[in-house]
């Protein structure tokens, strides 16, 4: 059976096999067919001849190995180009935002606004936390259950609501004496007063 000569060999580009050596852009003519091309596919023959051909001629060459590599490189280049375009558009938008916002991007303004809100909230809760933290230390029992959950909320400046208001005072009051005893009542009322002070501040 007669061996088929490689299409690129027939056009004088050297001996097969051919290897793919890269892709570039520029106006030139395909070394295989002479047609003007922009996407330049660089190939090297087995005997060291370097040539530039177009993608269409690579597809028609019948050389599947060359076709697969060239296709993969072309797709990678297209992705890189699209990414660069996206980055350039993103940078233009960032610059437009800086010009519009006095030197800051929209994200930087949002971040600054968020941090200021956090700081304002922390400043607002600071006196509440100062009132509630001693109660949090008393009610915590280290068991990771209900009392520790209340303690955690108190330390964050969360004032108990609904039935939790009196329940917090009751739990702490029981640490001083049984429910209904004078010691219990004194402690219960003390906690209620503190919780009311925290509500007034909040």
pLDDT of 58-110, one tens digit each? 999 989 999 999 899 889 989 999 999 999 999 999 999 999 999 999 999 99
Same-domain pairing of 87 and 120: no
Same-domain pairing of 37 and 58: yes
What SS3 string covers the chain? CCCCCCHHHHCCCCCCCCEEEEEEEEEEECCCCCCEEEEEEEEECCCCCEEEECHHHHHHCCCHHHHHHHHHHHHHHHHHHHHHHHHHHHHHHHHHHHHHCCCCCHHHHHHHHHHHHHHHHHHHHHHHHHHHHHHHHHHCCCCCCHHHHHHHHHHCCCCCCCHHHHHHHHHHHCCCCCCCCHHHHHHHHHHHHHHHHHHHHC
Looking at 53, 73, 106, which one is the last position of a domain? 106
pLDDT at 3: 63
For residues 14 and 43, the answer to whether their CB atoms sit within 8 Å is no
| Cα–Cα dist 153/194, whole Å | 15
Same-domain pairing of 88 and 141: no
Same-domain pairing of 129 and 193: yes
The pLDDT of residue 1 is above 80: no
Report the domain count for the chain: 2
| Cα–Cα dist 71/116, whole Å | 52
Same-domain pairing of 68 and 164: no
The pLDDT of residue 2 is above 60: no
Model pLDDT for residues 149-196, shown as the tens digit of each residue: 999 999 999 999 999 999 999 999 999 999 999 999 999 999 999 999
Same-domain pairing of 31 and 102: yes
- Our CA angle for 80, 84, 86, nearest 5°, is 115
Which domain covers residue 137, as residue numbers? 115-201
Same-domain pairing of 7 and 81: yes
| Cα–Cα dist 59/124, whole Å | 70
Same-domain pairing of 9 and 97: yes
Looking at 82, 106, 130, which one is the last position of a domain? 106
Same-domain pairing of 124 and 29: no
């Amino acid at each position: 059976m007669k061996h088929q000569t490689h299409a690129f060999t027939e056009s004088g580009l050297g001996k097969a096999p051919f290897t793919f050596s890269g892709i570039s852009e520029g106006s030139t003519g395909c070394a295989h067919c002479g047609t003007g091309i922009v996407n330049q596919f660089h190939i090297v023959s087995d005997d060291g001849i370097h040539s530039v051909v177009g993608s269409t001629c690579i597809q028609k060459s019948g050389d599947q190995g060359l076709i697969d590599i060239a296709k993969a490189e072309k797709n990678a280049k297209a992705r890189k180009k699209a990414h660069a375009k996206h980055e350039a558009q993103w940078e233009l938008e960032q610059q437009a935002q800086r010009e519009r916002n006095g030197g800051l991007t929209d994200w930087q303004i949002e971040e600054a606004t968020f941090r200021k809100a956090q700081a304002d909230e922390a400043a607002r809760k600071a006196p509440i936390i100062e009132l509630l933290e001693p109660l949090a230390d008393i009610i915590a029992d280290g068991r990771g259950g209900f009392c520790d959950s209340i303690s955690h909320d108190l330390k964050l400046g969360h004032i108990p609501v609904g039935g939790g208001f009196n329940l917090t005072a009751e739990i702490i009051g029981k640490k001083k004496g049984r429910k209904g005893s004078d010691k219990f009542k004194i402690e219960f009322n003390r906690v209620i007063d503190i919780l009311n002070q925290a509500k007034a501040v909040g």
